[in-house]
Structure 1
Amino acid sequence: MSATARKSAPLPDDIRDMKGGAPIVSLTAYTTPMAQMMDAHCDFVLVGDSVGMVLHGLPSTLGVTMDMMVMHGRAVARGLTSAMMVVDMPFGSYEEGPEQAFRNAARIMAETGAAAVKLEGGQHMADTIAFLVARGVPVMAHIGLTPQSINTLGGYKVQGRGNAAAALMADAQAMAEAGAFSVVLEKVPATLADEITAGIPIPTIGIGASAGCDGQILVVDDMLGLFTAFKPKFVKRYASLGTDGEAAIAAYAEEVRARSFPAAEHMFGDTAPKSKP
C-alpha cells in the first residue's frame, strides 16, 4: 500500500511485517517543514541524533542531549500524518542500564509522540532492548558503524570485514531475539548485509550497506545537498540545495547593496489601494 493511500501511520509491528516485501523507505528529519515534505513518501521518519552535526554544528553526535531530541521530535511530529516517527536515544541516555534506558525512552515517547526509539549497540545492549520491549517501548536497533562509539571504533570505518563478520551477524541475531522490530545496518560490506538480511526475521534498514536490505535510510540533508561538510561514499545527492541556496543568498546580497531590492512591487504606498465596487 502506498504512503498516500494509508489512513494512518504504520506501527512498529507493521514495519516488522514488511520483512521480505516491498522495500521500506525512510529518511531523517529534524524540522516540521522537512517532515511535511517526506511524510507521503516514507514508511517511517527518523529524528536522528545526526541533528547535532547537521543543524547544530557539533563535531559528532556525542554532544546531543535529551532536550534536543525531544525538541526536534516535537517539531517533526507536527509535520507527519502518514509516516511513523522513530526518535534516536542520544549518547549517555541508555548505556548505564535498562532502568535508565526506560526512563529516557518513556520521556521521549511521552513528550514527542514517537512510536518507537532507536538505540545503538549489539549483543551488549540485548538485555536493555528486551527490558524496554517488555515494558511497551518498541525498539529499532542499530549495529555496524555506530556513530556514538566512534572513539572506540577508531573513526567512521566500515564494520564487519574479515573476522569481524561473525560478531556482527551475532549482533544482528541478538537484536532480533531481544525483541527489536528492525535493525539499522550502517557501513557494512554488502555481502555481509545480505547475509544478515537473510539470516534474521526482522527487517534490515541499510545506510551504506546493500540494496538487498529490507529498507534504506539516508540523512535528508546529505541527499538534498544541504549538508556539505563531507560526503560519505554511501550518499547519493538527489539535489544541490546547498549550492542553490548559497547562490540565492549571494544574489540577494548583491541586490541589497545595489539598492535594487526591495523594488516597487515589494514596498507599500502611502495610501491604501481603492477597493473594487
Structure 2
Amino acid sequence: MPTVQEIRRASAGDEPLTMLTAYDAPTASIVDAAGIDVILVGDSVGNAMLGYDSTLPVTLEEIESHTGAVVRATEDALVVADMPFLSYGTTEGEGIENAGRLVKEAGANAVKLESGPHTVDLTERLVQLGIPVMAHLGLTPQRRNQMGYVRQGTTDAAAAEIRDLARRHEAAGAFSLVLEHVPADLAADVTADLDIPVIGIGAGPETDGQVLVVTDVIGLSDSSPPFAEQFGDVRGEMEAAVDAFREAVEDGDFP
C-alpha cells in the first residue's frame, strides 16, 4: 500500500498517480488488483449508486458504510473517504469528530475535503491530530447551488484565488490536491506551485495524476461529464446478460 507520505512525495516527471472512485467491495477489489494508487470513496456515490440527483443528500453514515466495504476489499491502494456536505464547516469540533469516524471506525487512510477559505484551519487541525487530508479545489460539487456545475478559474481573479488556496492548504498540511474542471494552463501553474501532488479531473494533462469516477470509466453511467472518458461498456454487457436471462427463463432453457 502506498503511504500518505509516498503519495505526498509523488511529483511531475515520475510515474503519474492513478485514482478511481469505488463504493463497494467487488469494485474496490478489481480497482485494487489493477494497481490503482488511490481509491476514493467519493460522495459521487449519491449520483452513481444511490439514485440522488446530486451529492448533497449523501450522509456521513452512507459514506462510512461504503468506506468500510471498500476498505475490507482493498489490500494495496490508499483509501480516501470523502467528507459529505455539512459533515464539516459548521464547527471545528464536528468536522474533527466526523473525519475521525471515517478513519477510526470505517478504516479510511485519509479524508478529502471540498476546500475553500473555511477549510484551511480545519485541514491544519486534522493533520495535527493524525488524520491525513486531501484537499479539493476548482469545481466542488457540494457548492453547486452557489457556483453551478461549470468550469472554474476562468478569470484572472478566480485563477489567482485557486492558486492562493492551493498554497494555503499545502501549508496547512494537505498531502495532495484534487483539482477539478479548470483550464489546463491553470492546472499546470498550480502543479508547478506546489510540492504536493496535484491530481486532475478535467484539468488537462500537466498534473501529477488523474482521477475519474469509476462508473464513467467502465461505461456504467447514464451520462458522463464532458471531461470523462469511457474505457469499457459494462452497461451494455449488463443489459445483454439480463436480457439473456429473461429469454432463457421464458423459453424454458434455464434452469
Q: Where does structure 2 lack aligned partners over 5 or more consecutive residues?
A: none
Name the Cα RMSD after superposition.
Answer: 1.0
Moved over 4 A (4+): none
Q: Give 1:156 shift.
A: 1.1
Structure 1 position 14 matched with structure 2 position 9:
no
- 1:122 and 1:174 in contact (8 A); partners too: no
1:149-164 aligned within 5 A: 149-153=143-147, 155-163=148-156, 164=158
2:78 matched to 1:92?
no
Partner of 2:22 in structure 1? 29
SS at match of 1:77: helix
- In the alignment, what sits opposite 1:217? 211
- The corresponding residue for 1:57 is 51
Structure exhibiting the larger radius of gyration computed from Cα positions: 1
d(CA) in 1 for partners of 2:163 and 2:196?
Answer: 13
| Residue of structure 2 equivalent to 1:234 | 227
Whether the 8 Å CA contact 2:92–2:122 is kept in 1: the answer is: yes
| Partner residue in 1 for 2:117 | 123
Contact 1:97 1:128 in 2 (8 A): no
Residue in 1 that maps onto 2:253: 260
Q: Which amino acid aligns with 1:159?
A: Q
Residues in 2 aligned to 1:39 and 1:247: alpha-carbon distance in whole angstroms: 27
Q: 2:180 matched to 1:186? A: yes
Is the 2:179–2:187 Cα contact (8 Å) retained in structure 1?
A: yes
Shift of 1:109: 0.4
CA offset digits 1:73-111 (Å, max 9, x no partner)? 110011111111100011111111321111001111011
State the match for 1:140 in structure 2: 134
- Code of the residue aligned with 1:19 in structure 2: it is S
Residue 11 of structure 1, CA deviation: 1.6
Identity of matched residues, %: 46
Q: Deviations over 1:114-170 (max 9, x none)?
A: 1100010222210111111111111000010001110000x2100000231111111
Q: CA deviation at 1:256?
A: 1.5
Letter of the 1:85 counterpart? V
Distance (whole Å) between structure 2 residues aligned to residue 256 and residue 206 of structure 1 = 46
- Residue aligned with 1:201, SS: coil
Query: 1:98 touches 1:132 (CA, 8 Å); kept in 2?
Result: no
Q: Distance in 1 between matches of 2:108 and 2:224?
A: 29
- Provide TM-score, normalisation by structure 2: 0.96
8 Å Cα contact 1:123-1:170 kept in structure 2: no
| Alpha-carbon distance, 1:223 to partner | 0.7
Q: Distance in 1 between matches of 2:15 and 2:168?
A: 25
Corresponding residue for residue 197 of structure 2: 203
1:76 corresponding residue in structure 2: 70
Q: Secondary structure at the match of 1:78?
A: helix
Please tell me the residue identity of whatever aligns with 2:241: A
> In the alignment, what sits opposite 2:96?
102
Q: Does 1:46 align with 2:40?
A: yes
Alignment coverage as a number of residue pairs = 252
Q: In the TM superposition, what is the alpha-carbon distance from 1:242 to its structure 2 partner?
A: 0.4
Residue 89 of structure 2 contacts residue 118 of structure 2 at CA under 8 Å; is this kept in 1? no
Paired AA for residue 26 in structure 2:
P
